[in-house]
Chains A and B, each alone.
Chain A
Amino acid sequence: MRRPIIALACTIMLAGCPRQALFVVLPSEGGGVGAITVDDGKTVTTLDQPFAAAESRAGGSGPVEESRGTIGVIFQEAFAARPILPEHFRLYFILGSDELTPESAMAYRSVFDDVKRRPVYQIEVIGHTDTLGDLRFNQTLSLARAAAIRDRLVRDGVEPDAISIAGRGKLDPIVPTGDGVAEPRNRCVVITVR
């Protein structure tokens, strides 16, 4: 006989019922502005500030204040289990070649170092070109650039099976340009290490 009374009390006063779930937005490393929406079927709560929180109780859901300290305690183990976040790198090439520019030849080291700090890893290498030359030439060149980086990584001891490569030719430039435009920033590979 007590249950309906408790349920009624819950709908009247949300805070009187035990918490069922907690939702918290956290500061993003990149500093970007994001948001989560919490939809319980009746109300939608939008959380778009760091440490903004919402909770569910039997009567419904809504915003709640939760201290950073409490959030840190509740999610301590989950935060500690967070993997090293994925990293992106760009390396640049000499015009019409799969040879790195001198600066990028130096920067290669940071890619290799990033791979080495991960217990397990997956690597994607995507080749690009500028828009000088025809489609076919640039498709081949972009893939050759990606392959050159893969080969270098493998020579340095990186697992070949963990590397995937692709060439986007001149169709997906980093810096959009018209056709036939020399653009050093588009002679590159984008490397994702995760």
Chain B
Amino acid sequence: MGLALWLAAGLLIATAGFPRAAEAPPIAQVKKVTGPAAVVRSGERRPANVGDMLFVKDVIETGPDGAIGITFIDNTVFSAGPNSQLALDEFQFDSNNFRGSMLADMRQGTLAVVSGDITRSSPGAMKVKTPTAVLGVRGTTFAVQVYADH
């Protein structure tokens, strides 16, 4: 993630509305942003702001010195450090019965997770994919680091 790319992302702010995932409800909200952080949706990269809603298939990216914290609607909490790339591949959650499933793709960087209600529904309901291994999560707090050169 070069500096030029981040400058380009900054220049994009001025253009028209961020595309929304059609009809899909938001799955998470951006709660904290430090330094450069962006959301890539439908191939378009925009700076992430506190309060932004996130949708399935969004990709979160942080630059050098960037960090971001998000909270999902099932109360799962993610926070990513600098030079991270994290795709929200799958997310389903029914707040009536806590049933759902989640697949996040941690491609690079550091991620700390406090699991939420989705892990109550069934073991294996929450997965975090990395380039080398898949994590199954049973109700816990954990962290993942994926090195850039794998």
- Interface residues, chain A, with chain B CB atoms under 8 Å away: 18-29, 32-41, 47, 56, 61, 71, 74-86, 118-120, 122, 124, 192, 194
Contacts and interface: CB of A to CB of B under 8 A. Distances in A.
Contacts of A56: 130, 132-133, 150
Nearest to B31: A83
B34 interface: yes
Contacts of A22: 144-145
Interface in B20-78: 29-32, 34, 50-51, 67-71, 73, 75, 77
B141 A34 contact: yes
Given A36-B136, A78-B80, A79-B79, 18 more contacts: A18-B149, A23-B143, A25-B141, A26-B143, A34-B140, A56-B133, A61-B132, A74-B110, A75-B81, A78-B111, A79-B112, A80-B79, A81-B32, A82-B69, A83-B69, A120-B31, A124-B95, A192-B75
A83 B70 contact: yes
Contacts of B134: 38-39
B143 to A, nearest CB: 5
Interface residues of B, number: 48
B77 A86 contact: yes
A28 B112 contact: no
B50 A194 contact: no
B137 interface: yes
A26 B141 contact: yes
B92 to A, nearest CB: 17
Closest 3 CB pairs of A and B: A34-B140, A83-B31, A77-B81
Provide the main secondary structure of the chain A interface: mixed
Interface in B98-144: 110-112, 114-116, 119, 130-144
A71 B10 CA distance: 32
22 contacts: A19-B147, A21-B130, A21-B146, A25-B142, A34-B119, A36-B137, A36-B138, A61-B133, A71-B143, A74-B143, A75-B143, A78-B81, A79-B112, A81-B69, A81-B81, A82-B32, A83-B32, A83-B69, A83-B71, A119-B31, A119-B32, A122-B73
